[in-house]
Structure 1
């Protein structure tokens, strides 16, 4: 995952990519096939972007967690999914300060266990985030398309079982990150890298990143929303167009942020197997593309709270009420905005839209 600095420890959201060859050693004066300029660029670009993503994502997802916990007595299945989605993003985001430091100094000073642990958290946070998005997509599909038949099954107990299953699945998928990630080098210049010991594990990383982390989730979103949108369009709701635009944006954001990185990662794998040309320019441009597209993909953690939570009026009111107590100058909605009758009306509007 982020071996751009273990970049996509497959977390990314995903697998660990070993870019230590251009993070871990200085090459000056530059050789004919030098990574010196790329290393200098990465040492500035990655810490800056990682820091911004961490701050914005931590604030947004932290607010989601606080709101759901504060109103846990009225928690629904959707709230449980939102809570776990935000928690997944937080687990992923908490690894970024370590990788920001690593990319800046080209040295891993935190030891072998922290290297393995952070790599595993990076993978688990990414996969659980993707899996919870898939779960929310399927939940929306069955609620809109088969509401009468599934209403009795959408209980808090079902939400707890679903969440536990997704976290266990994410940990199982991320287990190779803990097994194969290790610290190499000496105390003065060490690298935290994913050292695959055979081709089978390399193929697994590619499979997990591209199939489990992108193709299957994207396929589920496209299939479900392609059936949901025509149903919403037929409904006589004044807010139907907003709902349709929101659904399209969900798929578009996920697609455009993750596909470029996965393509670059796949090309990097092909080049490592000498299937693609191994020229200096092509290799350096590919590494640069991985660094840029990876960081952009990580911004999805910042957008999740906006896409999945803040678009709901009830959740927005609760968030403003909480912020009104913490931040001076923010107007807190009146108590009547949170009355049971208001929530019932909001619930009716949500189902119709």
Structure 2
């Protein structure tokens, strides 16, 4: 998911596509052979790893939730769609991995639009579902008794449709304007629009909708939730606080460096940064590294949002044992909620923490 780097026709992943095929030579006389060779080894290796881990982790989440669909609640619906979003995202990585090795697009115009659509829609829907889960937890914990009756499956379906439609609308310009073009190095799959407004829109979507707003929502909501948890008398509160901090910090650390790098590239394209070869090489290298780091966040989502939960793990362990015979896994009895009970009466503290440790 790249942003606008050189001010040329760009979409979320367009900078990297030009990096793959070496088409930046038309903008600068700098010798970037070493960076291109590094990218041809580094990118396919890391993309393949992210694809495998992301596909297995998110695929398992989808399988578990589908198997237990009769016990579905609003949290499970959000978790299912978050995993589905990450699956859509990682499914495009083999195409871009192949592109980085070959140096040109060989899959045709339809797959160019298709890959761009999956890539962008998967990214934004994943971000938006994380925001929805954050808001849901905030409302449930801060206003538990008022909203309990409204957290129905109908609401979950309505939110699902809304988020997917919003993600598709946000990604629509990239889907429409990304096409196969015949260039000096061969066929390229890139964003092509003569309207500067769409390039500014891409920057807005990537930085504001993809990072700033979600991060602000997490910070505001969780900063209100943590003080309430700290005051509660429950053994789970420390675990929940650590989970909240992990959610916010991981999102920031994985995505902020990439967004900052893209923003520096945008400033360079507008002439605010020097255009010497050293600056360009450093920006390309940092984009290579920070992009791959950002992509790995989709591998962590199943761990952060699903596998830390006792409820989900009790569902997942039998499926894992069935799929991988002989694997050493903890017994579901070890994850029993009884180890956390302090009395026969369910307190508000346990209600609150259960919204995080599912």
TM-score (norm 1): 0.90
> What are the Cα deviations for residues 274-330 of structure 1, in whole angstroms up to 9, with x where unaligned?
222111110111111111100100000000000000111111111111111111113
What is the CA distance between 1:190 and its match in structure 2? Answer: 1.0
- Residues 1:283 and 2:280 are matched in the alignment: yes
- Residues 1:246 and 2:243 are matched in the alignment: yes
Distance 2:333 2:261 in 1: 51
SS at match of 1:236: coil
Match of 1:71 in 2: 68
CA contact (8 A) 2:55 2:87 kept: yes
- Residues 1:198 and 2:161 are matched in the alignment: no
Match of 2:204 in 1: 207
What is the CA distance between 1:195 and its match in structure 2? Answer: 2.1
CA contact (8 A) 2:17 2:99 kept: no
Distance 2:185 2:18 in 1: 16
Distance 1:336 1:42 in 2: 47
Match of 1:309 in 2: 306
Runs (4+) off by over 4 Å: 2-5, 331-345, 347-350
* Number of residue pairs the alignment of both structures matches: 344
When the two chains are superposed, the root-mean-square deviation of aligned CA atoms in Å is: 2.9
> What are the Cα deviations for residues 208-237 of structure 1, in whole angstroms up to 9, with x where unaligned?
000000000000000000000000000001
What is the CA distance between 1:186 and its match in structure 2? Answer: 5.9
- Residues 1:330 and 2:322 are matched in the alignment: no
- Residues 1:41 and 2:38 are matched in the alignment: yes
Distance 1:137 1:325 in 2: 33
What is the CA distance between 1:334 and its match in structure 2? Answer: 7.0
Residues 68 and 193 from structure 1, CA distance in 2 versus in 1: closer, same or farther, beyond 3 angstroms?
A: same
CA contact (8 A) 2:128 2:163 kept: yes
Match of 1:224 in 2: 221
CA contact (8 A) 1:60 1:302 kept: yes
Distance 1:35 1:132 in 2: 39
In the TM superposition, 1:109-120 aligns within 5 A as 109-120=106-117
In the TM superposition, 1:21-40 aligns within 5 A as 21-25=18-22, 33-40=30-37
CA contact (8 A) 2:44 2:97 kept: yes
Match of 2:13 in 1: 16
TM-score (norm 2): 0.89
